[in-house]
Structure 1
Amino acid sequence: MPAYQDDVRRSRSYSLARLGVDHVDIHRPARLDRSVPIEDTIGAIKDMIDAGYVRFVGLSEVDAQTVRRAHAAHPVVDLQIEYSLLSRAVEAEVLPALRESGIGLTAHGVLGRGLLSGNWVPGRADDPRNHAPRFSAENASHNQTRSGGGVAPGRRWEGVEPSAGDPEEIEAAVPKGTARGDRYPRRSWANLGVGNRRLDGQP
C-alpha cells in the first residue's frame, strides 16, 4: 500500500473515532499534496467510499484542470474555494468546469474575509490575515476603499430584496480585478493559482 494512501486511511480512522461516527458524508482534502497525482488521492477516497466510510468526494482550492482530472477518476460533488466580489478568479475557468460536470460550489470568504463586511480592523497582532498579501499595509487600504470604504456593504443590504439593476450597479462599484495582492502568501501556497500568482510564473 502506498504511504500516502496509508496516511489517508489512518487520518480517516482517527477522524471517525474523534467524531464518534461510522462514516462521513463528504471527504474533502483541505489542500492537495502537489507531489501526489490527483488520481491517487481520489483513488484513496474511493476506497473509503467502497468500504462505507465516506459517501462523497469533494475538493478544496484547486484549479479547473485538477477538477476535471479528479472528476474523471471518480465523481466529485463539490469544490470549496474562495469566491467574493474581491476574489473572482474562479469565474474564468473554474466555474465553467464545475458547470460542465454538474459539480457544486461551496464558497468561502464570500465577504472578502472582512473587507466587504466592515469587520476587518488593521493592526491586530493576532490576526492571521496579516500574512495574506491582500491585507498587507500597501494593499489593504486600497482593497477596503474599493469594497465600500468600511461601510459594511454586507450588512447594508440585509433584508433588502435585489432589483433588476443591482448586478450592474454592484459590478460598477467593485469591478473584476479590483483587489490588489494575492489571496495567500505565495511561498506557503506554491502554485495554487486561481487568484494567486504561481511560483512557476503562471497567472
Structure 2
Amino acid sequence: MSVSDAPQDTPTVPDRYGRAARWLHWVIAVFVACLIPLGLAMVARGAATNFDGLTDRLYSAHKLLGFVVLWLMILRVVVRLRRGAPPPLATLTPLERVASQVVHVVLYVLLLVVPLLGWAGVSAFPALNVFGLFDLPAILPADQAIAAVILGAHKLLALGLGLVALAHVAAALRHRFLKRDGVMRRMWPPD
C-alpha cells in the first residue's frame, strides 16, 4: 500500500472547550456569584452604618475581586480569539443557536464593561484604596458627580449581568436534565 493509498487522518474538531477556557469560565463564574450579592450588601451596609470598618473591608473585597475579574476576562477573550470555540451541537435548534450566541456575546460584553465601570467609578469618587494595602491606578480624575453616574450604571449593568447569567445557567441545566444533549459537558467539569 502506497502512502497515497493510506487512509488520511482528518483532524477532529474538539467537542469541548479547551482546559484554559473551562478554568477561566468557572473561576469567573464563582467570582461573579460572589460579587453581585457582595455589592448589594456593601451598599446597603454602607447606608445603614455610615461606612464602618467592616463596610470598608467589603468594598475593598468587591474592588479587588472585580479588578481580578476584569483581567481574567481579558485573558478569556485572548484565549477565545486564539483557540476559538467548538462548533454548536447538531441537536441545537436554530433559535437555540441564535439565543446561545446572543447570550454569550452579552455575557462577554458585560463581564468587561461592568468591572471597567466599577474601576472608573472608584477612580472618579475617588476610592481606590484596597484593604489599606495599595491603591488601584486611577483611570479618571476625581469628580464625585461623574462617579455617581458611573457607579449607578455599574450597579444596573451588574444586575443585568446577574439576570443574563441566571438565564445562561437555566439554559445549561435545561440541556443537562431535559434535553440531555451534551451541551453542558462541553464546559463541565474543569480538569
Which structure exhibits the higher relative contact order, with contacts defined as CA atoms closer than 8 Å and separated by 6 or more residues?
Answer: 2
Structure (1 or 2) with the larger CA radius of gyration: 2
The structure whose residues are more often strand, as a share, is 1
TM range (shorter): under 0.3
- Tell me the TM-score normalized by structure 1: 0.25
The structure whose residues are more often helix, as a share, is 2
